[in-house]
A and B are shown apart, each in its own frame.
Chain A
């Protein structure tokens, strides 16, 4: 695979020189409903992910993985606990310390089970839009989008609509978009679920590559036990409780 020309060399240096905390959660709890209908989806979840670290989050369906991901992704704030990103306190329980949408745009990249590309934009525009929303000029955003696509090996499909791309290509474009604004955190929710084994492996390798080269902290929710060797750290969730697991 190619190397991104401006692959955040400072970040890479930082990653190698000093350990920077990409994301940290402290006692994050999410409760839905109240009284008799109260459901504890996640209890006291704590996790620390360094820059350049790739973390897997395993667990059966309904264990609270997605709830955790939406909480640290600033989409669905927790009931209690703290979320810090890049050392900055962002959420204290449901209380936001910053504009969550702007913070999300500038600091967090998302990749989902389905590629979730915008269907009316071409592949390169899907990457470009993330940068334009962050205030990048159209020309600069276009250039960097093409560089990212080159880096991820999908530059030849830049002008295709998502519907004309294979599942693997769509996921690569989604990864490119998640990298667009040089995020400190990338959150991926079962990104290989719709892919075959070989392509799934490629995508997992990709996360490791971007984490190490871009200096982002990556959390991947997955059921795919075949690729666990890619991850630096593994967490497991069950019945809303999170614990660190051993690497296989």
Chain B
């Protein structure tokens, strides 16, 4: 006869409610693990997905993700000239917050180096990669911009030609993929009035130079777009991505580039480490510590529940001892109930989590390793939590059955 199930069967409602409570608690522990994993995945997603070998960034910065980086676009050509380099591309990355349909709209803007990179590597749910240099974009599903929809950014309107998924920046914002030119246009967009004021200011500055007095026609250049003025540098890019030829040594190429005084270079692994040790380090540690705290709280609560459950049947335990039940029977009853509570709670946490976690604003990733580890922790908690009840039960004298 299984005393554990008999006892549970008699107060089934109470056990179900207790198990639900434990399940919800474990779900929070599971969610913390999932959020932790999600932060790591989101932080390194771009580095992993883009799959480039080297990142060239502004000298002495940890860009382009961990901090701001600015490099000239012609760096692409310098990098391409290094022996062993297969391709090099511009990388533009920044975040915008605008208003859309009356609500704040945040998007990470990523520039694809047209025409070498049209976004063919981006996993699409619908639509296609970019097919023209301007006014097209691929949007992450979390941005909630449907295929074919148009969005105004700056002075231009962009059409969504592809929808991807799970493409998030480390801050959790969905990514919009544009050509580099469009991404820069979005980044450096200034109002028309500001353009007019800058041209006037440029003309006014010109009049103070002797050259303008000698050749007044030069002042006409002041009214041209900035991109057409050789004196004004082209907008800078965040970084340059380099892929090396098959068989070429990545470290060797990195060594050559790192010899240039104006840039720093990171391998893919180095970039990942920068992200994990920099941008998300504190969040990662905070959630990790909070998760440990939750596990301890879950252990304490389960311990108290099991202890109370044992106290509730202390008279029955005394009676069982009186009629000669060996300690193993009593210990087995408490331990089985603890394990049932833990296992069912874990099952509830898993099933409820599978339904609820996708509704969270940021990704909650239930990794197999994490789930297995939590199952092990729950098993350990169940055993440890039952120890208090077992200790109490072992101390009960059969005399108490006579009271």
Interface assignment of A125: CB less than 8 Å from any CB of chain B: yes
Chain A nearest Cβ from B145, distance in angstroms:
59
CB–CB A76/B329 < 8 A = no
CB–CB B322/A110 < 8 A = yes
* Stretch binding the partner chain, chosen from B2-10, B99-107, B245-253, B379-387: B2-10
Interface string of A91-117 (1 = CB under 8 A from B): 000000000011011100010100010
CB–CB A75/B6 < 8 A = no
Chain A nearest Cβ from B397, distance in angstroms:
8
CB–CB B10/A161 < 8 A = yes
Cβ contacts under 8 Å, A110 to chain B: 322-323
Chain A nearest Cβ from B16, distance in angstroms:
15
CB–CB A101/B1 < 8 A = no
Name, among B6, B316, B398, B401, the residue most crowded by chain A CB atoms within 10 Å (CB to CB).
B398
A138 to B1, CA, bound (A): 7
A75 to B321, CA, bound (A): 10
Residue of B with least CB distance to A121: B6
CB–CB A112/B401 < 8 A = yes
CB–CB A119/B1 < 8 A = no
Residue of B with least CB distance to A112: B402
Contact of A129 among B1, B10, B402 (CB under 8 A): B1
Cβ contacts under 8 Å, B1 to chain A: 121, 125, 128-129, 132, 138
CB–CB A102/B316 < 8 A = no
CB–CB B399/A102 < 8 A = no
Interface assignment of B320: CB less than 8 Å from any CB of chain A: yes
CB–CB A106/B324 < 8 A = yes
Interface assignment of B326: CB less than 8 Å from any CB of chain A: yes
Chain B nearest Cβ from A75, distance in angstroms:
5
Chain B nearest Cβ from A192, distance in angstroms:
16
Cβ contacts under 8 Å, B323 to chain A: 104-105, 110, 129-130, 133, 177
Chain B, interface residues (CB within 8 Å), range:
20 to 34
CB–CB A120/B7 < 8 A = yes
Interface assignment of B125: CB less than 8 Å from any CB of chain A: no
Residue of B with least CB distance to A177: B323
Q: Which of B324-351 contact A (CB under 8 A)?
A: 324-326, 329
Interface assignment of A66: CB less than 8 Å from any CB of chain B: yes
Interface string of B390-403 (1 = CB under 8 A from A): 00000001110110
CB–CB A120/B6 < 8 A = yes
Chain A nearest Cβ from B228, distance in angstroms:
89
Cβ contacts under 8 Å, B46 to chain A: none
Chain B nearest Cβ from A76, distance in angstroms:
6
Interface assignment of B313: CB less than 8 Å from any CB of chain A: yes
- A75 and B324 in contact, given A116-B319, A128-B1, A161-B10 (Cβ under 8 angstroms): no
Cβ contacts under 8 Å, B6 to chain A: 120-121, 125
User: Chain B's interface: helix, strand, loop or mixed, by majority?
Assistant: helix
CB–CB B324/A101 < 8 A = yes
Chain B nearest Cβ from A220, distance in angstroms:
15
Chain B nearest Cβ from A135, distance in angstroms:
11
Chain A nearest Cβ from B237, distance in angstroms:
73
Residue of A with least CB distance to B11: A120
Interface assignment of A7: CB less than 8 Å from any CB of chain B: no
Residue of B with least CB distance to A138: B1
Cβ contacts under 8 Å, A165 to chain B: none
Cβ contacts under 8 Å, B402 to chain A: 66, 70, 75, 112, 189
Cβ contacts under 8 Å, B3 to chain A: 120-121, 129
A205 to B9, CA, bound (A): 36
Interface string of B117-144 (1 = CB under 8 A from A): 0000000000000000000000000000
Interface assignment of A134: CB less than 8 Å from any CB of chain B: yes
CB–CB A76/B399 < 8 A = yes
Contact of B319 among A66, A105, A118 (CB under 8 A): A118
CB–CB A120/B10 < 8 A = yes
A130 to B320, CA, bound (A): 8
Chain B nearest Cβ from A20, distance in angstroms:
22
Cβ contacts under 8 Å, B325 to chain A: 101, 105, 129, 133
CB–CB A101/B313 < 8 A = no
CB–CB A119/B324 < 8 A = no
Cβ contacts under 8 Å, A76 to chain B: 399
Chain B nearest Cβ from A217, distance in angstroms:
18
CB–CB A102/B324 < 8 A = yes
Interface string of A3-32 (1 = CB under 8 A from B): 000000000000000000000000000000
Chain B nearest Cβ from A142, distance in angstroms:
9
Chain A nearest Cβ from B314, distance in angstroms:
12
Residue of B with least CB distance to A101: B324
Name, among B321, B398, B402, the residue most crowded by chain A CB atoms within 10 Å (CB to CB).
B402
Cβ contacts under 8 Å, A161 to chain B: 10
CB–CB A119/B399 < 8 A = no
Would you give 12 A-B contacts (Cβ < 8 Å), ordered by A? A75-B397, A76-B399, A104-B323, A105-B323, A105-B325, A116-B319, A119-B316, A120-B316, A121-B3, A129-B3, A133-B329, A177-B323
Which residues does A use to contact B, with CB under 8 Å? Answer: 66, 70, 75-76, 101-102, 104-106, 110, 112, 116, 118-121, 125, 128-130, 132-134, 138, 161, 177, 189
Q: Identify 6 new A-B residue pairs, CB closer than 8 A, beyond the known A102-B326, A120-B3.
A: A75-B322, A75-B402, A118-B319, A120-B10, A120-B313, A133-B323
